Amino acid sequence: MRAAALDTFLGCTDLIKKANAPNYRLDAYGRLLLWLDLLERLEQCAGPVVLIDEAENLYKLGISRAERRTALRTLSFYCGGALPRACVVMAITPDVLDTLREESKELLEELGEQSTLLSAEDAAMLRRRLVRLRPIAVPRLEGAHRAILLARVRAMHARVRGVRLDAAWGRFAEELLVEDGLSPRELVRRASDWLEARWWERAAL
């Protein structure tokens, strides 16, 4: 019972259907910071790498100003310096980035005037970073890059779970690499699922 309650608390599953009111956001931020503190103490984690993939799904044209302000408030937390020792990587398409830069000044000023903005949501810092930072273009993944990505997923899994022989990995990897239309995210997810399933099978023996 206690383990289930702890899992719910740290996983924030009880907050999924809550409104984005300041008290719930503050609760979620606090739990994330607790996670980072636990990882530092128990796993000697030097700090998180936060990947915000497809950030245009948070912020894009065609939605209301209020919704765009909400997206900026979220990005202000992750990109404003509230996370200790964090490296934040935000992936966004170039046209949406240009629009975000153009509109962010006015929207962030509106945010700064709202009483619902939390101290951890540094809108001014996000604005400065959007203006000053120069994005790094990401090239299209070719076959060799995908193979390297798979190898890194497997190496990272081995560091966490331990090195184990897996005679079926080679064939599984080959099938993934020749599958058309498989995104890098899906590639990583399927490789991770495979490795975890093999690990749990052996752990159950």
At 61 the pLDDT is 57
Determine whether 138 is exposed, middle or buried from the number of CB atoms within 10 Å of its CB (0-12, 13-18, 19+): exposed
Full-model pTM? 0.65
At 135 the pLDDT is 85
Domains of the chain by residue range: 1-45, 47-138, 143-203
At 62 the pLDDT is 53
- State which residues of the chain have pLDDT below 70: 1, 59, 61-63, 111-115, 205
At 150 the pLDDT is 93
Q: CA–CA separation, 73 vs 67, rounded Å?
A: 10
197 phi and psi, to 5 degrees? -65, -40
DSSP class of residue 137? Answer: P
How distant, in Å, are the alpha carbons of 47, 105, 107, 195 from that of 155? 20, 42, 43, 11
